[in-house]
Amino acid sequence: MKDQTILVTSGRNASEQFGAVNPPVVHASTILMPSTKELRDYDSMKYRYGRHGMPTQHALMDAMAELEGGYKAVLSPSGLAAVTTALQAFLNAGDHLLMVDTVYEPTRNFCDKHLARFGVETTYYDPLIGAGIAALIKPNTKVVFTESPGSRTFEIQDIPGISAAAKANNDITVMTDNTWGTPLYFKAFDKGVDISIHAATKYIVGHSDAMLGVITARESHWQRLLDCNRTIGMAVAPDDAYLGLRGFRTLSVRLRQHQETAMALCTWLNEQPEVSRILYPAWPQDPGYSLWKRDYLGATGLFGFVLKGGVTRQSDAFLDALEHFGMGFSWGGFESLMIPNSKVKRTATVWRPEGLSFRCHAGLEDASDLIADLDQAFEGFRGQME
């Protein structure tokens, strides 16, 4: 089936849903066994305890795995919880982790403050290293973690090249944070990835009203992931899984609009004399454009841009003047957002934007209204330059 059809039909089991088109919310903790036979065969029961998931959660897990092309998926209560669960599943004391330098900062914090306590060594690498990552692989390297595009700075990684280098060492697991690309626009398993991670809070939920994480695995990596997920007690409420399913069904139409609006905003911003650079992989002048074009089926609504020169006073004037762009540390919902790209942490590479950098999420408002809002905010920016 085509992806658009999978989005609508996957995870729907009429025999478990009383004929309902959308899987209903099933609240349960205790599951009664009908006889001692089922009680003794507890481990093989699909529904055996609320923490392991009821029909609502299983519908979302099945749908995500089918769309992404993986074997099976598990849920977690946030995107960060999905990242930390995946890392803990495949790392032991004494292991070495290769982590992309442009990773989401809470993931970096987990490596530096938690994994380090348990004897896991982390090396941060240049996101543009590609197949050259082979030079960083050690005998005890067990995981290579990618995130493309880079958090805040939007570098596209050569994930097929990185995966091929890792596969030359058979016991290395390749993971990717695929939140920006989504399972619709980046087919991680076709690119050599073993574990694909999503902050489903963003585009999967799509309405800024639930926290959710999803991890999808190859069959070869599934049991280890499942065992860890259950051992550390990860569980998602059926209400949140239901909201994830609701957003999942409309992912295709929403992403098309997000991309169209993002491109319209980038086109307008590029014409402003104060803008020195657009940070968006789908922008033809972006350094990562060729890799994006090769590996991705589309782009989403999150991008960045840099204003020439400038000081904090001007940044504040610009942000405070915006009416349709909220200031919030998230993205992927129906609303447009804007935050300054301050305090970008790098240790293996250097990122100097040479101006004021902003991260923008293009929501589902009319693009002409968003452009008009940017236009009047630029007047405030220019006024602070005088």
295 is catalytic: no
Which residue reads 């929501």 in tokens?
363
Q: How many CB atoms lie within 10 A of CB 88?
A: 19
CA-CA distance, 379 to 107, in Å (whole number)?
A: 37
Q: Tokens 């020195």: give the residue.
A: 276
* The length of the chain, given as a count of residues: 386
Select which of 40, 51, 138, 167 is catalytic. Answer: 51
Catalytic position from the list 3, 72, 95, 104: 104
Q: Is 51 a catalytic residue?
A: yes
**Catalytic residue (choose from 202, 218, 277, 359):** 202
Q: Which of 66, 74, 58 is closest to 17 using CA atoms?
A: 58
Phi, psi angles (nearest 5°) of residue 303:
-155, 180
Catalytic residue status for 72 = no
| Catalytic-role residue among 3, 101, 158, 177 | 177
Catalytic residue list contains 37: no
| DSSP H/E element including 373 | helix 367-385
Q: Minimal CA–CA distance to 81: which of 168, 163, 200? A: 200
* DSSP count for the chain of H helices, then E strands: 13, 11
Q: What DSSP line would sit under 135-162, residue for residue? A: GG--TTEEEEEEESSPTTT-PPP-HHHH
Active site residues: 51, 104, 177, 202
